[in-house]
Amino acid sequence: MESPKRVKPYTRPTGERRGLLLVYTGDGKGKSTAAFGLALRAHGRGLKVRIFQFIKHQGARFGEHRAFSALGIPVEGLGDGFTWKSLDLDHSAALAREGWERARVALLSGEWDLVVLDEATYPVRYGWIPLEEFLEVLRVRPEHVHVVVTGRDAPEELLHLADTVTEMRKVKHAFDQGIPAQAGMEH
């Protein structure tokens, strides 16, 4: 007699250990820095961390990059420093799609315990990364993989899928009071 089809073995109750999807959105400061702080914490706990930055360009060397490289955490700038002042949107869009391809592979590989998709809401909002594809990758990723997505205007569907959502709300910003960005604090 053939043994019955293997049933799914006992697994710990849902939630004991599972990858979380966290979203930091809103117009306030602290979205990316919170993601970096989390990366630091996770790294300190022995998790394998990888960071993709969808706006920062490849060669960007901000303070956090230097510190992450000292810790051996890979940070990849995928963008071209795109802002609303960009002159070549087609180029920005192509870069975002290439970058997303790399992030997608990393997410699905299961090799990384925490993947940070910094400022990923923008290419999604601009339509450079199709929202449905973005969500689908998050849905089907290996279940131990934690993901942090940052950026303003996170789409409703992403908030719905997320486990934890924080809105960073700007109450007050130094820049609005004429204080220019300070090295080491804002870049």
Quickly count: other Cβ atoms within 10 Å of residue 14's Cβ: 8
Residue 152's nearest CA partner among 123, 173, 181, 132 is 123
Q: How far is CA 146 from CA 21, 108, 114, 173, 176, in A?
A: 6, 11, 5, 30, 35
Residue 120 token pair: 């990923």
Q: Which one among 30, 81, 86, 97 touches its own copies, defined by CB under 8 A?
A: 30
Closest approach of Cβ 78 to its own copies, in Å?
A: 19
Counting contacts by CB under 8 A, is residue 162 touching its own copies? yes
Counting contacts by CB under 8 A, is residue 70 touching its own copies? yes
Q: Which one among 50, 51, 64, 149 touches its own copies, defined by CB under 8 A?
A: 64
Counting contacts by CB under 8 A, is residue 74 touching its own copies? no
Residue 11 token pair: 């697994």
DSSP assignment string, 37-71:
HHHHHHHHTT--EEEEEEEEETT---HHHHHHHHH
Q: Which one among 50, 65, 104, 141 touches its own copies, defined by CB under 8 A?
A: 65
- The 8 Å CB, 24+ separation contacts for 74-79 are 74/50, 75/51, 76/50, 76/51, 76/52, 76/102, 77/53, 78/52, 78/53, 78/54, 78/102, 78/103, 79/53, 79/54, 79/55, 79/119
Nearer to its own copies, 96 or 106 (CB): 106
Closest approach of Cβ 175 to its own copies, in Å?
A: 8
Counting contacts by CB under 8 A, is residue 32 touching its own copies? yes
Nearer to its own copies, 11 or 177 (CB): 177
Size of the site for its own copies (CB under 8 A): 63
Q: Choose the binding region for its own copies from 3-11, 84-92, 119-127, 165-173 (rule: CB under 8 A).
A: 165-173
Q: Which one among 4, 9, 15, 59 touches its own copies, defined by CB under 8 A?
A: 15
- Interacting residues with its own copies (CB under 8 A): 15-18, 20, 22, 24, 26, 28-47, 62-68, 70-71, 113-114, 146, 159, 162-174, 177-180, 182-185, 187
